[in-house]
Every structure is written in structure tokens, then in C-alpha cells.
Chains A and B, each alone.
Chain A
Amino acid sequence: MSSILLNSNTQWVLVSTMILGIAAGIIGCLAYWKRQNLMSDALSHAALPGVVVAFLLFAEKNLLVLIVGAGISALVGAFLIQWITNASRISEDSAMGMILAVFYGFGIMLLTIANRSPGGNQSGLDSFIYGQAASMVKSDVITMLILALLVILVVLVGYKEWKIYLFDQEFAKGIGLSIKGMNAFYTIVLVTTIVIGIQAVGVILMAAMLIIPAVSARYWTQSFLVMILLSALFGGISGAVGTLISALGSGLPTGPFIVVVAASIFAFSLVFGKQKGLFINYIQYRLHQKRVRNGMQMKAEGAK
């Protein structure tokens, strides 16, 4: 265990998955209140063709290039979902499912071609898709760190605007906040978070990083600010602990372990959470029953 921790590459990876967890936890809260939890799932799948096209065009596995490719393709996906939903009678979740699967299929087509191409360094690309944090090198980690910090900063600096935008759009219009602009901004922030997480967690499980910490945080607080902080904390813990566990064995994928840790935190919050947790609910229910029974008894005694 200690030898793993001393390995400097593991330390770097650990830091990056932790920051990633924090960023995803924060953005997840925005997605939660926009009620677009599964949008992150659709967009992370939709990023795949962009990754492969970027790889084919530049013929190297440079993280920044792949991230830009992923980002563009996810944005195209987001635009198409929006367009299909607005212009036809297809509902949003059908549109998301379609874009997710068709883009992914297209990505797999391209990936098969890329893997066949001479010099197609396929092992690198595959880990990019299924999430293998151990395959990251220092320059990858630095790219990820900068982008994640940028995302976190954007939310914290514009905290008040985000809050108004999410909870009171009428008021937002009143004070001259452009909803369209905020929507675009939100999509960009979401897509950025998704694409920087893909290498560590994989396209399929990236959605979990955005959804699970935010929902878990909801069980502990009613305040938006506290929810963001808690969600960031849960995300950070999941990232770090998941990475550590996967580092214990060789060749273990990182993403699934991160998700399982996050899910454990969720299960704990679901049962013991201060707000609406199952345990608290049960206690309150019992107390209420007791009070009702006592009240009835007192009434009965009074009647005597």
C-alpha cells in the first residue's frame, strides 16, 4: 500500500481524480437542479466520435487534442438533442437516447478504423474510453487539473448568478440576466467537466460522477451552497478512494471503483441523511405515532 502511495505517478493520478470528483460534484448540483441528470450520460457517450476523429487527424494521443475533439462532438450532440426536442414531437429522453447510442455507434465505427490504421496506438485509445486513470501521465494530469480548476472557479465566481438562474428564471430575466446565455454557458461547463473526466472514469460511467454526489448531498441539507460543498466533498472522496482501490491490483479499471465508492456514500446518505433519510424518517414516524397515541390516551383520561 505504502509503495503505491510513494509512487509519484499514483500521487499525480490521485490528485487529478480527486479534483475531477470535486468539479463533477459541483457541476452535478447545477445539473440536478436543471433536472438534466441523464444529459451528462448522453453527452459523455456523444463525445466518443470526437475523441477518435481528433486522434485520427493528429495521429497522436495528446490529451488536450482529444479533449477538444470530445468537447466539440459532445456539443454537437447537445445541439442535436435540443433541436430534435424542439422541432419535432420526439420527447427529450428519446432524443437523448438516440443521440447517445447513434453517436456511440458512429464512434465505434471510427475506432475500429483507427485501431486498424498503421501506428494506431490502440491501447491508449481504449483506456481513454473505458477509464484507466493509471494510464495518465504527468502532462495529462496537469491539463486535467487546469481545466477542472477553471470549471470550479467559473461556478464559484458566478455563484449568485447560477443560483438565480437555476431557481428563479423570471427574476433572472428581470435583472437582465440572459437565460439563453446562461444556458449556453451551462452546456459548455457541463461538457468541459465530462470530457476531462473521460480518461479517468470512461465515457460510460462519467455520468455517475455528476449524478451520484449531488443526489447524496441532497440528503444532508436544504441550502444550495452547503449542497455544492458537500457534493464536492463526496465527489472528491469517491475519486480519491476509488483510485486507491484500483491501484491495489494491476490492470483494474479506475472508473467502476470510483462509481462504487460514490454509490456507497449515496446508500449511507439515503439511510442516515439528516434530510429525508430513511432512518430519520422512521424515527420521526415512530415519534409521531407515540405522540398521537399519548394524545389519544390523554383525551380518553380527560373524558373520564
Chain B
Amino acid sequence: MTYTAWIILTAALVGLSCGIVGVFLILRKTAMMADAISHTVLLGIVVAFIITREVSGPAMLIGGILAGLLTAFFVQWLHTLNVQHDASMGIVFTTLFAIGVILIATSVGNAHLDVQHALMGEITFIPFHTITIPIIGEIPEAAGLLLLVLVVVLFFIIAFYKEWKITSFDPALAASLGIPVLFMHYVFMGLVSITTVASFDAVGAIMVVAMLITPAAAAYLWTDKLLIMLVLSGTFGVVSSIVGYYIAAWIDTSISGSMAFATGLVFMVSFFFSPKHGLVSKYIRPSKVA
């Protein structure tokens, strides 16, 4: 495959996995947790780097998951101590992120990690770091990691589809049915973390938030059915990453920035023109007077 094809494929994988995970972020009204986790994953990656002294996929994945779960745990813990939920989020992620930045600035120094790279991602380098997989052959490491994460995410969502549905829409009912709601919450935060880590190389810490939240929010405006929302959100993710790539190629700018921008465009179109909840359709067909 050509250089461009690999970039587009990687970007599309980011869009697909983020789009699917994002649906549950929107439905569980924990969208800002994505922001928190995407920042603290940086700390996990840095610590993994300090321990193993190399930039390797699996170590970073584990570091990222641990950091993400730690964030979820701290936020939950502070919340049980009567700190407002969003305030505890704000405290935890800014602090862990700050520690990550300090570690990079002091001990890791000029090694392979730098803050800017971590925050913005560098998808243009992705085709150069390849690994060899039996049967398929040589593929970029980031694409392989994303593929693996996508499989894991799909497995968890399909295997526990009914449980996700109930815990997302009606946690109280779920608890009364004996579904471990808190445990599911942590599993979900783990899924968000691995998706974030895998997307990190490609789009960086902050743009991954755009990929996670925006396509799902756009899909939420089109449908009331969970399955359709998942399909739509994944599609929107893929479309915006491809559109983003071509915008970036067209005006020669940051690919990850353009991908985030493209998700915004998709949302804007949905916000105005979605037949169900769009502004225009609301204007044409005024809601029934109750």
C-alpha cells in the first residue's frame, strides 16, 4: 500500500474506534471524562517510557490503561468525598497532566517524547514505524495497535451489548437487575483509555477528544436507536478523518487538527439539517403543541 493509503487507513481506524466508543460517552453523559482521560494518558505513557526506556506499543498501552483507570478511580473517590463531580475531574486530570509534562521536561528530556508531539500527534510519521505480522505482512505499528484495540472494543460492546444498553440508559434499573454498574463503569473507562492510547500517535491527546465526542454527538441528533447510532457514529468518524486528511493536504496544515475540525463540520451539518432534531426541520415542522 502507498504512504497516503496507510495514513488514510490509520485515520479511518481512529475515526471508527473513537466513533463507536464515543456513543456511550454521550449516552452516559460522561463526555468530559474523555477529555480528562486523554490528558492523563500522557502521564501513563511517560511513566511507561521511563520504566522501559523505549517507545513500545504494548508498554504504552498498559501505561495508558492504568493512567485512565487511575483517573476514573480518583474522580470517583473525590466525588464520594462530596467534591462536585466536574470539579473533581478538573482537579485530577490537570494535576496528573501537569506531572506528566514535568516528567517530560525533566527526566525524559529530548528523547522520543515531547509534549508537542503528544498533544498534536504526528500521523505523517506513522507509515515509517512498521511491524511485521504473519500472513498480512508489514504494517505500520500504529495501524496494527488500532486494529487490535478496535477488535477489543467491538468484542466488549457486542458481548455485553444488553448490559451496556441498560447501564447507559437506566443505571438504577441495571443495579436492581444485579448488573455491576460501577464495574461496568470502570470497564468502559478502560475501553476509553485504550482507544485514546492507540489514537495518540495519530491525533494526539486533545484531538482524540474531538474524535470521541463529536461524531457520536452528531449521530445522537439523527436517531433514537442505539444500534443505528453506533453505525452512524462510526461512519461519521471515518468520514471526518478522511475529509480531514484532504483538507490538510489541500491547505497544507496539521492533519490531526483538520480531522478535529472536520468532525466539527459533520456536527454542524447534523445540528442544522438532521431530519429528527435539526434546527431547520424544527423550524419547518414546529413541534406539536402539547
Contact = CB atoms under 8 A, between A and B. Distances in A.
Interface of A: 32, 35-38, 40-41, 45, 84, 87-91, 93-98, 100-102, 104-113, 116, 126, 130, 204-205, 207-208, 211-212, 214-215, 249, 251-253, 255-257, 259-260, 263, 266, 270, 276, 278
Given A108-B254, A109-B261, A270-B81, A37 B213 contact: no
Interface stretch (B59-67, B89-97, B164-172, B175-183): B89-97
Nearest to A35: B84
Contacts of A106: 257, 260-261, 264
B105 A105 contact: no
A263 B94 CA distance: 9
B106 to A, nearest CB: 7
Contacts of B141: none
B197 interface: no
**Chain B at the A interface: SS class:** helix
A105 B271 CA distance: 19
Interface in B231-283: 248, 251-254, 256-261, 263-264, 267, 271, 277, 279
A252 B258 CA distance: 30
Contacts, number: 197
B253 A97 contact: no
Contacts of B83: 215
A32 B82 CA distance: 13
A217 to B, nearest CB: 12
28 contacts: A37-B84, A37-B90, A38-B35, A41-B32, A89-B220, A91-B31, A94-B213, A95-B217, A98-B217, A100-B35, A101-B207, A102-B214, A102-B260, A102-B261, A105-B260, A108-B260, A109-B248, A113-B251, A204-B119, A205-B97, A214-B87, A215-B87, A252-B105, A256-B97, A256-B101, A256-B105, A259-B94, A260-B99
Contacts of A96: 31-32
B105 to A, nearest CB: 6
Q: When A and B form their complex, which 7 residue pairs have the shortest distance between CB atoms, in order from nearest?
A: A105-B260, A101-B210, A108-B257, A208-B94, A102-B264, A256-B98, A109-B257
A109 B253 contact: yes
Contacts of B271: 84, 87-88
Given A37-B87, A97-B32, A252-B105, 9 more contacts: A90-B26, A101-B213, A105-B264, A109-B248, A109-B251, A126-B116, A130-B115, A256-B102, A259-B98
Nearest to B120: A108
A270 B99 CA distance: 19
Interface string B95-121: 101110110011000000001100110
B253 A113 contact: yes
A45 B207 CA distance: 11
Interface bin, chain B: 35 or more
**Chain A at the B interface: SS class:** helix
Contacts of A107: 257
Interface in B182-227: 206-214, 217, 220-221
B138 interface: no
Contacts of B101: 130, 253, 255-256
A208 B257 CA distance: 24
A98 B214 contact: yes
B105 A260 contact: no
A108 B91 contact: no
Contacts of A249: 106
B285 interface: no
A96 B32 CA distance: 8
B232 to A, nearest CB: 15
